Amino acid sequence: MDRSRTPLTLALLGLAVALGVGACRGGAGESGALPRMPIHPGAQLKDSQPAQADRDPLEFYLVPGTTAEAVRAWYRAEMPKRGWIASTPEDDDVVIYYDAEGCYAFVMVSEVEADVQLQLSHQRADAPCMRQLPVDPGSR
């Protein structure tokens, strides 16, 4: 047996494992289809719809072992760190965010039986943003 290939084999195996772990999105991070959106730790990608000429990208996740309120609280803390400002009440099931350029995103969190479901989307890259002032969610 030629043992000179063992380090290469181990390196390739390590790379495959690292790529596999990243693909399952087991921790907080970013999405390939939604690069400006944080992904909740433990969220499991169920479906991804890339941007098209008439549709923004959209991703669907299942977040096991938590509550909808905990996921909403996580997004309340994380979205501003990425430059997003809520324009709807942050305790709603669907929260719309805007950034400084006027681009929009939304986070939808719901509980169905014992599962927490998460939908994320933001304006597609080729659509012009509209500079506007977000509505103060506290004024509602």
25-66 residue pLDDT tens: 334 566 778 888 999 999 999 999 999 988 999 999 999 999
The answer to whether the CB of 91 falls within 8 A of the CB of 50 is: no
Number of structural domains the chain divides into: 1
d(CA 115, CA 99): 30
The mean pLDDT of the chain is 78
Residue 31 lies in domain: 3-139
Strands (DSSP E) contained in the chain are 29-30, 38-39, 44-49, 58-63, 85-86, 94-98, 104-112, 115-122
- Stretch 76-82: mean pLDDT: 94
Domain CATH number, residue 116 = 3.30.310
Instruction: Tell whether the torsion through CA atoms of 32, 22, 39 and 66 is positive or negative.
Output: positive
Give the confidence band of 112 by pLDDT, cuts at 50, 70, 90.
confident
d(CA 71, CA 119): 11
- CA distances for 130 relative to 57, 69, 100, 134, angstroms: 18, 30, 10, 11
Tell me the pTM.
Answer: 0.71
Question: Tokens for 130?
Answer: 């509209």
